[in-house]
Amino acid sequence: MKKYLMETTVGIFVVFGLLCIAYMSVKLGHVSLIGDNSYSIYARFTSVSGLRVGNPVNMLGLDIGRVENLSMDQSDQRAVVEMRIKKDVKIYDDAIASIKTEGLIGDKYISIDPGGAGTVLEPGGAITETQPAIDIAELIGKYAFGDVKKTDDAKKNNSEVKP
């Protein structure tokens, strides 16, 4: 009798552990099992360097969705980003989407300025105003190797110093 009690107790703990692992996998993986409380919108960028599927979409500093898919439009030669946005968030057709970096060398995310003067974007709609990510490595390289152009005032000061 004690043998069956011990086996039953171990079985209950194993099942409980598997349920906990399944729950955490769903929560951490941002997977929705029952219904879908989000909709898709699209944005076209000249470059999506560093952006990956699953990166956050923020508006006003709040997480409102995730990057769902990255693809390329061959006819326009632009990158198309599909974003899943929470259903209760309204984005207008005059919104601006930009790719930003968390910190100096952090992960990329999409920041949306919501707009407000236009009409609300329908599911499957597209944000037309976009700004690609700033390439920090390229800027540092230009500065380090002297490709940064001087201003007109600096040029005048340099020409006056010459004998």
Reported as type and span, the H/E element at residue 129 is: strand 129-131
pLDDT of residue 33: 52
Q: pLDDT tens digits, residue range 45-55?
A: 998 888 899 89
pLDDT range class, residue 19, cuts 50, 70, 90: very high
State the Cα–Cα distance between residues 72 and 74, nearest whole angstrom.
Answer: 6
pLDDT tops 50 at residue 163: no
Alpha carbon of residue 76 to chain centroid:
22
Q: What is the DSSP string of 36-50?
A: --EEEEEEEES--TT
**Residue boundaries of the structural domains of the chain:** 1-31, 38-137
Question: pLDDT for 81-123, tens place per residue?
Answer: 999 999 988 888 889 999 988 877 778 899 999 877 778 888 8
Calculate what percentage of the chain has a pLDDT beyond 70.
83
Task: Specify the pTM.
Answer: 0.65
Neighbouring C-beta atoms of residue 161, cutoff 10 Å: 7
**Nearest by Cα to 123 from 32, 29, 27, 36:** 36
- Cβ-Cβ contacts under 8 Å for 157 (sequence gap 6 or more): none
